[in-house]
Amino acid sequence: QRFLKEADKHPDRLLKVDDGLQKIVHHANRASEVIKRLRAFLRKGQKRMAPVSLNAVISDVVKLCQWEAEKNGVRLQEYLAADSPVITADPVLLEQVLINLVRNGIEANVEARGETGRLSYIVVTTCINDQRETLIQVTDEGTGLDDEGIRQMFQPFFTSKPKGLGLGLSMSRSIIEGFGGFLDAIPAETGGLSLICRFPPNQHRLAPNRTADFAHPPGEKP
């Protein structure tokens, strides 16, 4: 509203208004598409499968979560496989799963940090292991969970959040399994958790263009 009121004196500010409106439309359309695909998946297991470059999806997810992370004193870091693995998945649903994992990590970091104001990190990696499985790993610096807590965290309606529904991780695991993969969690060296999406060798292909090297292990800061 302020930019619109000052448009007569500063016409260039209309460009900022236009840019803001375009972003609102983009995010509204994206939210609509996510809801549509989630409904189709939950009701009938329907997915719009296509080749997906994991490195590109991770970069998009980091951009989408950047504002929320910075607001909470969290820095997002990407360490992506040099051979840019490609899997077959529904790109919209996969992106939504990864957004959910990153947001869970942000909340875990904030809870662990308390009022200290300390900068914390979430590390997102892609790699292909010795078994030729394709992995996406999201590592936080939260307080972590014991084995029983890890087992329970993927159960429907289980949550440690006061306002949580306990559906995010359960639904995320179901979506990843629908792509032929598996979602699990392990304790991380950071003291938090590493959430790992694991896809079998028959899901793995290489993209024609290489991207950033997988230079640091999860949790290690450059």
Digit-coded pLDDT (tens) for 172-199: 998 999 899 999 999 999 899 999 999 9
Confidence of residue 209 (pLDDT cuts 50, 70, 90): very low
Quick one: pLDDT at residue 155? Answer: 83
Q: What is the CATH class of 48-206?
A: alpha beta
Does pLDDT of 222 surpass 70?
no
DSSP 94-130: HHHHHHHHHHHHHHHHHHHHTTS---EEEEEEEEE-T
Quick one: pLDDT at residue 34? Answer: 56
Cα 128 to Cα 19, 83, 182: the distances in Å are 39, 9, 15
Confidence of residue 80 (pLDDT cuts 50, 70, 90): very high
Does pLDDT of 2 surpass 70?
no
Q: Which residue has the higher pLDDT, 61 or 207?
A: 61
The secondary structure of residue 36, as a DSSP letter, is: H
Quick one: pLDDT at residue 210? Answer: 37
**In whole angstroms, what is the distance from residue 135 CA to residue 158 CA?**
25
Taking the model in full, what pTM does it have? 0.74
Do residues 105 and 123 lie in contact, with contact meaning Cβ atoms separated by under 8 Å?
no
Confidence of residue 109 (pLDDT cuts 50, 70, 90): very high
Q: Which pairs count as long-range contacts for 19-24, CB under 8 Å and 24+ apart, including other chains?
A: none
pLDDT digits (tens, 9 = 90+) for 137-163: 999 999 998 888 888 888 875 565 544
Confidence of residue 15 (pLDDT cuts 50, 70, 90): low
Do residues 211 and 82 lie in contact, with contact meaning Cβ atoms separated by under 8 Å?
yes
Consecutive H or E run containing 85: strand 85-89
Does pLDDT of 69 surpass 60?
yes
